[in-house]
Amino acid sequence: GKNNILLDEVLQEKYLGGLIAQGFDEKSCLSRHQSLWKHKGPQPHRPSSHLISKLRNYEKLHRRCGPHTKSFKKSLEYLNSSDHGNYDKITDCKYLVWKSRDGLGNRMITLVSAFLYALLTQKVLLVDPGAHISGLFCEPFRGSSWLISSPIINRFMNFGRYSPHTYDYILKWENRSVIPPYAFMYLAHDYTEEDKRFFCDEDQAFIRKVPWLVIQSNVYFVPSLFLMPSFQKELNLLFPEKQTVFHFLGRYLFHPTNSVWNSITTYYNSYLASADEKIGIQIRIFRTNPDPFNELLEQILACVIKENAVLPQINDKMMMKPGGVQSNRTKAVLLTSLDIRYFDAIKKMYEENSTQTGEIIQVFQPSNETKQDSYNHIQNMKALAEMYLLSLTDKLVTSSKSTFGYVAQSLGGMRPWILYRPEEYNATDSKPACQRALSMEPCFQAPPTLECKTRERVDTGKIVGYVRHCEDMSWTWGLKLY
């Protein structure tokens, strides 16, 4: 009856439909239970009961095997010793250490990918001690920690594409019946065909036995896990609705720390909360020479005003009739960019002109950092706050190929309008300025293309209906869940 409905609402809001475990200390991480997404209205997606129980079981595993446990100490000793006998006699705990690289959006999509792989293979996810994760995110796993510090783990963080620990390198060993104590899975965009064998079931049989796997990536490799027969059944149970993988795992993992949360809530309440509609525009420019400013501004306006009416046309001052349309409706535009000029131009346009719908348009940009500096912790905090704020908007416009935009859209559960790359757009031909994404998932920008057994090229966008090519990459490249 009524009580059940109430309970259901509490569960939905406070624990995100059961995604978040009960029993956390709330004050030390306010964002975990106060997420602002409820202001967007009832959340249309619900985590499956299978996903919820998988997460509770994972948390138990993490508590049993994580840092400061007996198993963890024994496993580290094994790693440090030169005698690598039968690991299974020591413990059944196995670890996946995530090594960071690139911008925060890239880091977040690879953390979700690594976590899903850990869930599927019963490994314990630990994070790069050098990535300042604890200043950005609260601990995600109740009763334990994903942070590590140990001299040997610090040494793992020096691994790179050409280390003699990559899977490519291991494949050249003569005797592969011996399981090494650790191995490095290099899964970034420039990985080799041999490294890509990570996504083959035959190779996983070996890889998943390695007690300490170090993983480094800068791409969202989840879609290729969905193409592996050995994981398919489990993934179907976990995610009956395929396009919700990042939506749920991201909301499960990423709770901004109190200091980041304070900036998010203050900004939201000051500038966005009272608007009738919130519009996010994420402008990410990968090529700045020649300066794309004029053309890109024109492209953005074509997308949001002409093609999709996300924002209203302005009135022509000379043609205005007395007593034009009046409306009390307000729209708040949250613009994020390293560059301030787009904000200046759009804000000026709406300040100096009335709109044809009578709506009042307010434009905001929280920061303008000028240059990407992913080693700058303050910039990363701002970036996190801005991705989160974008996820709170009602309609979102993003830039092609930007993981910053991917995080915002999937956390928010939105299918954005994606701006075509500026170098592909020309206002004079009849091509559109942007296109609507078909799903909220991030794109895997560098998937393997060879079939595991035959080693022949296959179109991986045609194997199953729910893994297809991405909207923001050329159509033979990139994979995404739909």
Interacting stretch for ligand GDP, rule CB under 6 A, among 76-84, 236-244, 378-386, 458-466?
378-386
Q: How far apart are CA 120 and CA 58, in angstroms?
A: 10
Provide, rounded to whole angstroms, the least separation between the CB of residue 112 and ligand GDP: 13
Single out the residue of 98, 156, 261, 404 in contact with ligand GDP (rule: CB under 6 A): 404
- Smaller CB distance to ligand GDP: residue 204 or 379? 379
Q: Is residue 104 at the binding interface for ligand GDP, with CB under 6 A as the rule?
A: yes
Amino acid at 325: V
Task: Centre a 10 Å sphere on the Cβ of residue 184 and count the other Cβ atoms it contains.
Answer: 25
> Closest separation between CB of residue 267 and ligand GDP, Å?
12
256 vs 312 by CB, closer to ligand GDP: 256
CA dist 403 and 407 (Å) reads 6
Contact flag: residue 379 with ligand GDP (CB under 6 A): yes
The reply to whether 372 sits near ligand GDP by the rule CB under 6 A is: yes
H or E segment at 403?
helix 403-412
Structure tokens at 406: 């991917």
Q: Which is nearer to ligand GDP, 338 or 463 (CB)?
A: 338
Element (H, E) at 410: helix 403-412
H or E stretch including 336?
strand 330-337
**Residue (265 or 402) nearer to ligand GDP, CB:** 402
Tokens for 186, please give them. 């290099």
Among 18, 47, 105, 129, binds ligand GDP (CB under 6 A): 105
Distance between CA atoms of 199 and 226, rounded to whole angstroms? Answer: 10
Q: Of these, 302, 369, 463, 464, which contacts ligand GDP (CB under 6 A)?
A: 369
8 A C-beta contact, residue 473 and residue 442: no
Residues 295-354 binding ligand GDP (CB under 6 A) are: 336-338
Q: Are 126 and 107 in contact (CB under 8 A)?
A: no
CA–CA separation, 468 and 283 (whole Å)? 25
Residue 403 CB, nearest distance to ligand GDP (Å)?
A: 3
C-alpha dihedral (209, 211, 216, 217), degrees to nearest 10: 30
Least distance (Å) between residue 401 CB and ligand GDP: 7
> Would you say 148 or 392 has its CB closer to ligand GDP?
392
Nearer of residues 61 and 470 to ligand GDP, judged by Cβ: 470
DSSP string, 457-474: B--GGGSSTTEE--TTS-
Q: Rule CB under 6 A: say whether 103 interacts with ligand GDP.
A: yes
Return the number of other C-beta atoms located less than 10 Å from residue 181's C-beta: 16
Strands (E), 28-159: 95-99, 124-127
Site string for ligand GDP, 348-367 (x = CB under 6 A): -------------------x
Q: Residues, the chain, total?
A: 482
Nearer to ligand GDP, 86 or 289 (CB): 289
Under a CB-based contact definition with an 8 Å cutoff, are residues 45 and 241 in contact? yes
- How far apart are CB 335 and ligand GDP at their closest, in Å? 8
How far is Cα 45 from Cα 335, in angstroms, rounded to an integer? 26
218's tokens: 């800068």
**Binding to ligand GDP in span 221-280, by CB under 6 A:** none
**Binding flags for ligand GDP, 380-399, as an x/- string (CB under 6 A):** x-xx--x-------------
User: Restricting to residues 275-294, which ones interact with ligand GDP according to CB under 6 A?
Assistant: 284
Peptide bond into 290 cis (omega under 30): yes
If the CB atoms of residues 61 and 279 are measured against ligand GDP, the closer one turns out to be 279
Closer CB to ligand GDP, 378 or 438, in the complex: 378
SS3 330: strand
Q: Which of 35, 75, 100, 106 binds ligand GDP (CB under 6 A)?
A: 106
Instruction: Output 29 or 335, the one with its CB closest to ligand GDP.
Output: 335
State which residue has the least CB distance to ligand GDP. 103
Residues lying near ligand GDP in the complex (CB under 6 A):
102-106, 284, 336-338, 367, 369, 372, 374, 379-380, 382-383, 386, 402-404
